Amino acid sequence: MNFPFPTAVLLTLTLLLTAPAPAQDVFGSSAVGGPRWGPNRETRRLTEEAAIAKYNYCPSGGCVVRLENVELRPTQAKRGQDITLTTTYTILTPEKVAIPVSISREIFYRGKSLGKVKSIDTRNYNGTWSHRISFSMPQGSAPGIYNLVTKVTTGYGSDLKSVDFLVD
């Protein structure tokens, strides 16, 4: 499109001002820096039909948002070592359309939140999904036990789980 300069500037400003704000990354802005996140991959583990059978789901019963499992490998890592996080979740709704799904993570150290560290927004159909991403804790991270809380949210509800991991 060919807009006159003032219209183009106004359009750009409107887009910038109405864009959603990025997730707060308190941990990543710390003096030590946050974990380095690698590429993520999501795969379907169960089809809609298989998930319906597994949970004996009936559409008249409402919607299901279930965080099945959160797994870290390894659970004891050295600073700078890659840790793989696998999140498995199920969504079942009466509609047969892809719905927005948000997967957020927050790391705690000694009971204090270090901030929301990674949020993934996607759209998925009914079924069971597995989301995999790797990260590494910075070299300057304090040694000790960390707690990672993962939350899966849709417009129909949410579910969360936490898992501990050791950094030495």
Distance CA 13, CA 18 (A): 8
Q: Cβ(151)–Cβ(159) under 8 Å? A: yes
Residue 31 has pLDDT above 50, yes or no: no
Distance CA 131, CA 66 (A): 14
Distances (CA, A) of 8 to 11, 16, 18, 19, 20: 5, 12, 15, 16, 20
pLDDT tens sequence across 96-148: 899 999 999 998 999 998 877 667 899 999 999 999 998 888 888 899 999 99
pLDDT tens sequence across 57-87: 999 888 999 999 999 999 999 998 999 999 9
56 confidence band (pLDDT: 50, 70, 90): very high
pLDDT tens sequence across 156-167: 999 999 999 999
- Phi/psi for 77 (5° steps) reads -135, 155
Domains of the chain in sequence order? 36-156 (2.60.40.3880)
Distance CA 99, CA 77 (A): 35
Any bridge partners for residue 106, and if so which? 116, 149
Largest CA distance in the chain: 59
